[in-house]
Amino acid sequence: MSYFADKGPLVADIFSRYPASPQGRRSALMPLLREVQDAEGFVSEGRMAEIAALCGTTATEVRSVMSFYSTYHTVPTGQYHLQVCSTLMCALAGSDELWDELVHELDVQPGEVSPDGRFSVQKVECLGSCGTAPMMQINDEGYYENVTRSKCHRLLAELCQGRKPAPDNPVPVTVLDDGRQLLASGERAGAGVGSLTPLTGGNA
């Protein structure tokens, strides 16, 4: 059954954010993917074809866009989708060992869901939290930082009880009115917009 057949107003709203041109229609691909994934947990071949038809493109192009972003899934994921950053800083800080621990403890491989439907795992590229390596993200909702072996075990123990521990930093990050980030610890990070130097005009 078509996902978008009874969602005309939603589709119209998404398309209204982009220019009324073939390129504009293709730009709606990402929010349409997000819509399906939020509702169904992954984007099946059938949904890719449906989105492709809406955007005036091909299912192959939709799949190719999806393959660029680890946030989109082509197969079902578990209730807790554990994503371990495997890029350099995290690798140097022990993400390989963290990954081995996870797949060993959960007995699950990428693309699989544990028999109880609770867990799936994925290696991802840098999630921009290199200073707190090794880190992992659970679902799309939060970052768990400096994940040592013992912290990994604590997290898994909570998740096995059906409780999702509070992340060290939520996603998306809270950005304050002055442009600085509010960390979960309550600290403010980054430079405020007040400290930015305005660009000046001229030809130099």
Please choose, from the candidates 30, 130, 144, the residue with its C-alpha nearest in 3D space to the C-alpha of residue 83: 144
Work out whether the CA dihedral 108, 75, 126, 135 comes out positive or negative. Answer: negative
Q: Whose Cβ is closer to ligand FES: residue 11's or residue 130's?
A: 130
Determine which residue in the list 48, 98, 133, 136 makes contact with ligand FES, applying CB under 6 A: 133
Minimum CB separation of residue 111 from ligand FES in Å reads 22
The three-state secondary structure class of 181 is: strand
* Closest separation in Å from C-beta 73 to ligand FES: 20
Q: Does 84 bind ligand FES (CB under 6 A)?
A: no
Nearer to ligand FES, 40 or 125 (CB): 125
Look-up of token digits 């693309």: 111
Nearest-approach distance from CB 145 to ligand FES, in angstroms: 9
Q: Is 3 exposed, middle or buried (0-12, 13-18, 19+ CB in 10 A)?
A: middle
Exposed e or buried b per residue across 22-46, where buried means at least 16 C-beta atoms within 10 angstroms of its C-beta: eeebbbbbbebbebbbeeebebeee
SS3 assignment, position 90: helix
Q: Are the C-beta atoms of 167 and 158 separated by less than 8 Å? A: no
Return the residue of 11, 30, 89, 160 that touches ligand FES, per CB under 6 A. 89
Among 127, 152, 155, 159, binds ligand FES (CB under 6 A): 127
Which of 10-18, 129-137, 179-187, 191-199 is the region at the interface with ligand FES (rule: CB under 6 A)?
A: 129-137
Residue selected from 126, 171, 173, 184 as contacting ligand FES according to rule CB under 6 A: 126
- 135 near ligand FES, rule: CB under 6 A: yes
**Which residue ranges make up the site for ligand FES (CB under 6 A)?**
85, 87-90, 126-130, 133, 135
